[in-house]
A and B are shown apart, each in its own frame.
Chain A
Amino acid sequence: MSDRAKIFADIRRALGVTGTEAARRRAVDERLADPPESVIPVRGQTADPVGLFRAEAERVFATVEMVATAGDVPVRIAGFLRAKNLPPRLRKGTDPYLAALPWAATPLTLDEGRSDGADQVGLAHAFAGIAETGTLALVSGPGNPTTLNFLPETHIVVLEAQKIVGDYETFWCELRAAYGAGAMPRTVNFITGPSRSADIEQTLLLGAHGPRALHILIVGTVSP
């Protein structure tokens, strides 16, 4: 008997079932097709998801700046890098939103494609933001290579204000709408602050294996 057959036989013996019971199949099929309602924290049901996102992200040591229009993003990034004493150079994917920004107006050098670990700054365009926990959702693909989220020491993410949702339940719906029910991008990275470790005497240290700094530009709001 294969290990697969043995494990299924052992599960069914333990549960006292055969696997052919119609009621059990129906329960599973229905739940997979139409997930039951979750307990959704009221925290996310706010009139100001952008404000909540910002507050929660800053709580976990991300830095956030508001940018009125997409056209301002390159200048603001150049300013951020200068203030941090970082070279005016960053790496990004082929994301069309990022590609359309007016980079030529800045002294920034742009590299494109996956990171091999030599880059100091990575730039990504977020699929969404989740206000409940100040979490970015990035999806993999040529537009935003996954390695850019983890290898560079500084990670800059552009997030459109209208892509910020209150809670995870709304996010799952957006994801299904974009990729189809039951389908997923290869990788969804939920990122909540810069990387950290507390493995040494529970001392919180930022910058473990991933980025030491996470800077988020929220585009499309004018609040300070």
Chain B
Amino acid sequence: MSAPLNSADFTANAHRALGDAHLQQALHVSRDGFIAKRTKAVARLPEFEALRDAARDIKAHTLAHLDLYLEAYEAKVRACGGTVHYAATTETANAIVLDICRRHGAKSIAKGKSMIGEEMGLNAALEAQGITPVETDLGEYVIQIRHEMPSHIIAPAVHLTKDQIAADFHRIHKGLPPERDLTEPAALLTEARKILREKFLAADIGITGANFLIAETGTSIIVTNEGNGDLSQSLPKVHIVLASIEKLVPTLEDAGTLLRVLARSATGQDMSVYTTLSTGPRRAGDPDGPEEYHVILLDNGRTKMLGSDFAEMLRCIRCGACLNHCPVYQSIGGHAYGSIYPGPMGSVLTPGLFGLDHATDLPNASTLCGACESVCPVRIPLPKLLRQWRERAFARHLGPETQRLGLAFWGFFAKRPQLYGPAVRIAMRGLALLGGRGRFRGLPFANDWTASRDFPAPQGETFQAQFAARKKT
């Protein structure tokens, strides 16, 4: 079992998203918030650009020595009484979790937010064995009761309005007075806090993700604002950490540098409320904490990316800044991408992890405006990587035939400047003649463009002609 994927339906999904009034309202609310908060946090830290360079270098260094840092990390976890499991695939990772659950007779699981858990389709795998997973991050809890995928890697329910969430709580939380007032977000939070508190205290096993793993000390780090991850991992008898192999960093200082850029890029906080460093299980004399500490290290396509032209993507620290700043994501939200990893990072990662055949449209779901790269805390050249996927899709004939024909037609002229200039001149004069000084409401071969706006009729000389004329003077 692994995450459901329907990226093949991107075009239809995107059309539906644009017409979804609830979604558009929710996206409108979130868009300005994320960008303004990040801008403010960055402005308060003059060293931010230098920290981005340092963050990039730390991840690049770690990836280049990943085998050795993994060995060092594993030895440290063992020395502290923890167990490290390796899983090449999501199937193996799920089997390891289920095996631990079986050994402990676990019935109920408290889950902190984990994208690796999403990638594994872990909730479905647990439910199939009669085990109840409870998502404890507020946003994840909301999408769990709606049976949806997260639409954002750090704000999973960002596509929903408070009225939709209130309707879900009225539907799901039976036994509470049906006439209770849930119009305010605070009332929703209070209700979720009360209900989830009981789940935390009753859980047999806690599962969290990891933002970073530290080789120096065998430590896993989680970052949350709610405190749900900490309750998930300190109350149950067993703590399972789900992490992919590229989460590793060498030292405490390296983790500190990445933490300095993570929250600022993600939510515009200098630090998230809770940053928790966990090293092994409960020690002698400890009054609380898990008796067993397991780390599951997942590959699932990452080693394949490491040896490819897409290795830079493995620097990603999952802050979500590229989603927040992407004009395409801002317009259609995360679900349209059909992958748990949406937005620019997802459009590079999804074909890398799950195969280009299932995600041909995603690298095209970008204007290549470069906003993503300009905010990426580890300086991943996302537009370059998106272009590389486009080239591969083209080489493998994965795109539509009309696109190939159009490109071949354009390419014929583009490769022959002596034809290109005159041809464009004739075409533009023709259009100018037809359009006068006005605008076209429709144009052959450009229906998609003119469906939502008019096409201005060309005026004056072509760009190349004007450029040549100005160069002379």
Contact = CB atoms under 8 A, between A and B. Distances in A.
Interface of A: 2-4, 6-8, 10-17, 19, 24-25, 27-28, 31-32, 35-36, 38-43, 56, 60, 93, 113-114, 116-117, 132-133, 135, 140-142, 145-147, 149-151, 168-169, 172, 175, 182-203, 205, 207-211
A133 B254 CA distance: 17
A2 B216 contact: no
A193 B263 CA distance: 14
Nearest to B26: A201
Given A172-B252, A184-B217, 20 more contacts: A6-B299, A11-B303, A28-B69, A31-B250, A41-B45, A43-B45, A114-B287, A117-B201, A140-B283, A146-B288, A184-B80, A189-B230, A195-B226, A198-B267, A199-B157, A201-B30, A207-B193, A208-B227, A209-B197, A209-B231
A70 to B, nearest CB: 24
A196 B92 contact: no
A6 B269 CA distance: 39
A192 B230 contact: no
A42 B47 contact: yes
Interface of B: 26, 29-30, 33-34, 45-47, 50-51, 54, 61, 64-70, 72, 76, 80, 86-88, 92, 136-139, 142, 155-158, 161-162, 165, 185-186, 188-189, 193, 196-197, 200-201, 215-219, 225-228, 230-231, 234-235, 245, 250-254, 256-257, 259-260, 267, 269-283, 285-289, 297, 299, 303-304, 306-308, 311
B227 A188 contact: no
A3 B95 CA distance: 13
B306 A35 contact: no
A208 B282 CA distance: 26
Contact of A146 (B185, B234, B311): B234
B227 A210 contact: yes
A31 B257 CA distance: 15
A32 to B, nearest CB: 5
Contacts of B64: 15
A169 to B, nearest CB: 6
Contacts of B185: 200-201, 203, 205
A123 B186 CA distance: 26
A151 B231 contact: yes
A19 B67 contact: yes
Nearest to A40: B47
B276 to A, nearest CB: 5
B245 A192 contact: no
B297 A150 contact: no
A7 B299 contact: yes
Contact of B162 (A197, A200, A210): A200
Contact of A14 (B26, B269, B304): B304
Nearest to A191: B274
A35 B188 contact: no
A36 B136 CA distance: 37
Contacts of B86: 2-4, 7
Contact of B304 (A10, A15, A114, A191): A10
**Which residue, of A3, A6, A60, has the highest number of chain B Cβ atoms within 10 A?**
A3
B65 A27 contact: yes
Contact of A15 (B54, B66, B227, B252): B66
A59 to B, nearest CB: 8
B209 to A, nearest CB: 16
B217 A39 contact: no
A142 B88 contact: no
Nearest to A211: B227
5 contacts: A38-B54, A151-B231, A182-B76, A186-B282, A198-B267
A159 B155 CA distance: 33
Contact of A41 (B47, B165, B245, B311): B47
B157 A117 contact: no
